[in-house]
Amino acid sequence: MKLLNALLGNAAEVPPAELQAEFSRLLMSEEHIVRGYRLVRDVFMFTERRLLLVDKQGITGKKIEYMSIPYRAIMRFSVETAGTFDLDAELKIWVSGTPEPVCRNFSKGVDVYQVQSLLAKAVCGK
């Protein structure tokens, strides 16, 4: 099922400790990954301070874009839950200065309410 979700473009949750070890060079001192998701080769991670998007490009994946979005730059966001026939949930994040939202799909097993709560705390305050 994990392979099918990945092929359909749906992200699955990854343990934060695994991502912390893999992406430690991207993190500031004392910054920790709270939640992370992998989509085939791409990854997106929530830390206490920002959202990190890792986009591997090309056939070999050697070219990689690392996008850092501070929570203060997020203007709004929406979460769409999975339905009966539409098995994936969707997250949209509008970033200041960009007209189109950043969109990510989640597999059915991901708790999108938990993702929404995490973003709400980070963007709107604790």
Indicate if the pLDDT at residue 31 is higher than 70: yes
- Under CATH, domain 2-124 is a member of which superfamily? Bacterial Pleckstrin homology domain (2.30.29.50)
**Residues 25-30, mean pLDDT to the nearest whole number:** 92
Which of 32-46, 65-79, 89-103 is predicted with the least confidence, judged by mean pLDDT?
32-46
Q: What is the pLDDT of residues 64-92, one digit of tens each?
A: 899 999 999 999 999 888 766 666 778 89
> What contacts 24+ positions apart, CB below 8 Å, involve 116-121?
116/77, 116/79, 118/34, 118/35, 118/46, 119/46, 119/71, 119/74, 119/77, 119/93
